[in-house]
Chains A and B, each alone.
Chain A
Amino acid sequence: MAEPLSTVQVQQPSGASQPLAIYAPPPELRREPLVQNERGIGWISDAIAGVAEGKTPLWWWIAFLPSVILMTVCFSMILYLMSVGVGVWGPGHPVMWGWAIINFVWWIGIGHAGTLISAILFLLRQRWRTSINRAAEAMTIFAVMCAGIFPLIHIGRIWFGWWLFPIPNMYGIWPQFRSPLMWDVFAVSTYFTVSLLFWYMGLIPDLAVMRDRATSTLRKFFYGLFSLGWTGSNRHWSNYEKAYLILAGLSTPLVLSVHSIVSMDFSVSQLPGWHTTIFPPYFVAGAVFSGFGMVLTLLVPLRRLLKLEDIITVRHVELMCKVTLATGSIVGYAYAMEFFIAWYSGNPYERYAFINRAVGPYAWGYWIMISCNVITPQLFWFKKVRTNMVLVFILSIFVNIGMWFERFVIVVISLHRDFMPANWGYFRPTWVDILTYMGTFGLFFTFFLLFLRFVPIIAIAEVKGVTPQADPHHPLGGAKGGHH
């Protein structure tokens, strides 16, 4: 037996202290801990809650002010759009959907990572999810909010948007249940509701922590209000765990359904380039890909800025890179398969649609997509890349760009040259398109930055659960008579 890693003093019931040697696990079992530097659970509480409690850092203000300005721009653009007409955007024949739908699908895709991390990884007992699930879920909610704006404002008569909901009315007219847009309304609203509930549920124990730590009456009141009287009793925990499991079970199919249904907006139509059965799985993979891309974009700098490197460790980042690599490869496969099927179908319209993607007037868009979505993730095969935080950050941005262009390719390139050459046209966004899209970043980051300042950005209770101390079999953990 090798040298012990360390020796700790174990107190005997008799009161005597006895040294206990801790040996390293055999190499094949050795894993990097999920919380590094053997941080104690008290430190974890302090570190996470401290983000919301301490003095507002300067960088936060530097990020927040432009975000608020951008958000204002977003709302101004929407006001302008509503007062004049959808014509302030770029669409026209034959590209009737432009940036609005691209942005919608893009944001919805980003919104995928959160629930995937919190639900599917939870069910699959991926304990590493605990460090990132809270932030990812918040990201999901804000991204779905950004996404949800677009289908509403892109319609011609915004004031009748509620007609898409099955609200009983005196005319007895119902929405058209054959339309994928209808399914979209259900899918997205359900997804948003469940994600929000799931996120909030997970927050309750941590909000109670915040309440208990609060120093001002105001904070105490609000944290108290939202923690719903959480005391941390066993009964609470037991109910909580059950509810969490049920919600995770409920959310899991939603992760798959929402983007499948969004993909049906396209695949149910008969436009070459849209009318493909590969879309549902391919969209889900793409969504997870983009979601993880965005999580990386957010968390890689945050762990540094918030000094949470011990909780969101390099191992976490590596794992996320691996998910990105896997889903990115699926997406790349889907691209190849689309081409193959177009050729194999023997349908000249289909063939042309795909050839046009690669060599047509929008070829630049297609090749941006390919390089960002197919080539970029392949770099994650290399550990050196995965562990280089600057590189990961840059590559994650590429993923975001690539996924935006994927939707651009699908929406714009498919539409701009369809069946009849007489209809062919060229689409260009207007400044209103661009500013509205930029504006949603303002909206997103405003919410995200407020989230940072008011809500524990990491699930405190859950992270504690994956520390060695929480493991009764771990030398550091278990009910060994100590207290903390």
Chain B
Amino acid sequence: MTEPAKYAELHARSAFSFLEGGSLPEAMAEFCAAQNIPAMAHLDRNGVYGSPRFHMAAQKVGIKAHVGAEVSVMDENGIANLPLLCESQQGYQNLCRLLTRTKLRVPKHSASFAQISELEEYAAGLVCLTGDEHGPLAVALARGGKDAARQTLTRLVSIFGGANVYVELQRHFDRAQEARNRVAVELAREMALPLLATNGVCYATPSEREVMDVFTCIRNKRQLANAGRLLAKNAERYIRRPEEMARIFADLPDAIANTCELSARLEFTLENLGYKFPKYPVPGEGSEIEFLRAQAHQGALGRYRELTQKVSDQLKKELDLIERLELAGYFLIVWDIVRYCNQHGILVQGRGSAANSVVCYALGITAVDPVGMELLFERFLSEERGEWPDIDLDLPSGDEREKAIQYIYQRYGQLGAAMTANVCTYRGRLAAREVGKVFGFDTETLNRLSAMVGGFEWRGPNDTFDNYFSSAGLDLSHKRIAKYLDLCVRLQDLPRHLSQHSGGMVVCQGQLDSVVPLEPATMPGRVVVQWDKDDCADMKIIKIDLLGLGMMAVLKDSIGLIHDHYGEEVDLAHLPQDCPDIYGPICQADTIGMFQIESRAQMASLPRNNPRKFYDLVTQVALIRPGPITGQMTSPYLRRRQEKEPVTYPHPSLEPILKRTLGVPLFQEQLLRMAMVCANFSGGEAEELRRALGHKRSEQRMKEIEKKLRAGMMQNGIGGKAQNEIVQFISSFALYGFPESHSASFALIAYASAFLKIRYLAAFTAALLNNQPMGFYSPDTIVKDAQRHGLKAKPIDVTCSDWNCTLESYAGKIVLRIGLRYVRGLQQATAETLVNERCRRPFTSTEDLARRVPELSKANLAMLASIGALNNINARLHRRDALWQVAKAGWRVGSLLREVVESDASSPLSAMDVEERLIADYHGTGLTVGPHAMAYRRPEMKRLGIKSAADLKQMPHGKPATVGGCVITRQRPGTAKGLIFMTLEDETGNSNVIITPDFYEKNRVSVLYERFVQISGTVQNQDGIVHLKAQSIKPLAISAAEIQSHDFH
């Protein structure tokens, strides 16, 4: 019997070469194992993008994963792709540095290539192959014949050394290739270089050649029909069995034998990456851990004022573990960033699992007291799990976050810190569209398809490509259409390009560019690594997330305004807890503008949940998420809160985990712990589950996990209903759920926003208006809500408004002044010139204003006049007087007449009436500080039997009623089975209307486009939550003002 053939595939690239490879690394690893190939080298084009995933997959199936890349190199023959394999850690580091150097030289999306001199510099530890038809040997041969090829080979030998250059042979049944191979063999024999057979793999199986062809078309912006010879000649670049390779290369057995020999030589794998987190430069003589202990102790004293035994014990336990895991440096570095933010007045708060750690709390990284909240530290860091801690920092979005990021770049150097990447993959709509283009569908069909294929969510069993295509009018029995459908499905989850992750940063001891190649991001000054956050975690690279949060900016601005106008200091870390006056309005769902609890769905559950202490808010934040809603956890939880149903557990073993949430899982950690307890998941498996639940979950992964869960539960004797219930809990969390610690951090911000809104309404409203757009409501709704709570708001006035909304004293009260930022079409720089000029000397007339602020265009002046901002400029003018004047002031005069001041005479125009003022206000600013449009028409409404929002709240359940008002939000959440939630606003508050899908179909126009409507229906008044279920809708002719509704379809 002959010995089975031995062959290692040493030249393969995956879909992570972005449109130049057709299979995922995992599929390639699995296929290798199935074909009895002991090792494979994963060489992406100009990067190591897919290497971590290939490494992890290879470990799982027990094959050896070699690392390398195809590097584009420019020489006198042109650009060639040179395959390089990493023999040692030094080789890998050199490859990373080489790629970083070439990538950072050119802007993102530009072709990068290395120079010969750079190859010489970074050659150590690398083995070079001569490549395929785009390799240096073939390129030289095509350009200059055998002599040029010899020259190229000689140069490669001089760069990498004779032992490190392999003459590569591929056989794809192509005449031209065979002719090249003949020359290559001759040259190899002549120069005594080893031959190496590879298959230049681009995909796992021959059928993926179709994916490859589609990618080629997408890359070249062609259609299949006209791509011609850009497409592959045949489908031979798949993973071939060793026997097949041996047969094809029967005439050159040494080329096959050398593959195993070289594979044995390549020692390096990603296991020994050589990543080290940077050390923190400790002042004085002590070690990092000693310094951390001192800082934590000192911080804890500041936080708790007095250290209880429980706190001290916890602190000691955590610090001991940090010492054992050698993570002191990491904590100190995050502490350093937080300290920088504090010193520079940037509000910062940690979220994520870090909120479970008392050390983080003591260091000021997080603001949730884990001892008081009884959060489990082990979820953040544990010795057994071998996971790395994950600290996320929330920063005010915009410039301040950028400042913190730049601080890290500056502190660790451009090559020592970078953002993590985000791999954009083909999902439903993108795949349908791009593949459609490649198949040459007309624009109309493409539009129809994209409109029909849902976004990122697979919402239900009917949301399949088959159904989408059938409803778009495509005939699935036609081969071309069937192929199209097939390819759309096959493209799912394949990477398309790399973008920047919103906030993840990695830093490294020494040079990050020797750990992973860096490349430029689209944003200038930003650098990203070639791996995404999961890859970084797999490679045990610690990341810090710096995320931007609009509400952080609001909190910070509020604190500044409170200091300036109320003369009080607010410390967010020490807000008075559990104040009834704060929870009162929250329980009544009076939460417009408050972080996370202002949406319609949140408002509808607040009176039922009835939060009275901080932990109630934590559950509230987690409650209204697609996960708990579709998993049908929200209603049981609320019923249990109201003691309308008993607290039960799917299985007695789950009681300790679910006790705090009344037997209903609401947090991600609970799901993970359920999997660990019921189905014997190990720490690593639970971590895998957590990732599968992440936002880029794949159907395949979820199915595998479900299988594992059921098997585990069967082992533990959990079957039947309990098993189904638990699986249902866990798999529905795939549609997003919050971790408890994350909820706690958000709840803290929610509480802070509620606290500021209730105690310092003027400051909070001004800050909220200055940070728009954010949240759920339009500025107009925010102003109207604040007015109903007693805040006096004053209109924009060029004699006193700044760019931002400000606070003023008026009759002993603090009032809000709307800022010039709300004037439509006014540039910030122009407004600032106006304010500076006004500070120099007040304006005496509209003429004076127009002359001294020449940046104000005619349109700006007219806009200011029409919203009444010029009314107070000298004498009392009405808006039309001002408009009449600015119409003249806008005509620029020559230098001779520039100083001639004309008096402001009254105009022939009549003053605006109420309706005209409303129209002008909404047209010019999007809001009004005057009475609500409905207020003017209340007597008429009463005559028509239309109730106000306040009246509706008093109506008993089941009674018919009619309400009228201005539509401020329309929402059609994916989780609500097609129901539309509409909010109507009038001068007394908001009324909530529910619109059923049937009713919507009959009244589409009124529901979607009318600004003012009257709706009749049945009152649903339960547990203090009042809704009107619509039965008829009519437009109301109240005002022609352009009041905008915030719609979420």
| A and B interact | no
Residues of A within 8 A of B (CB): none
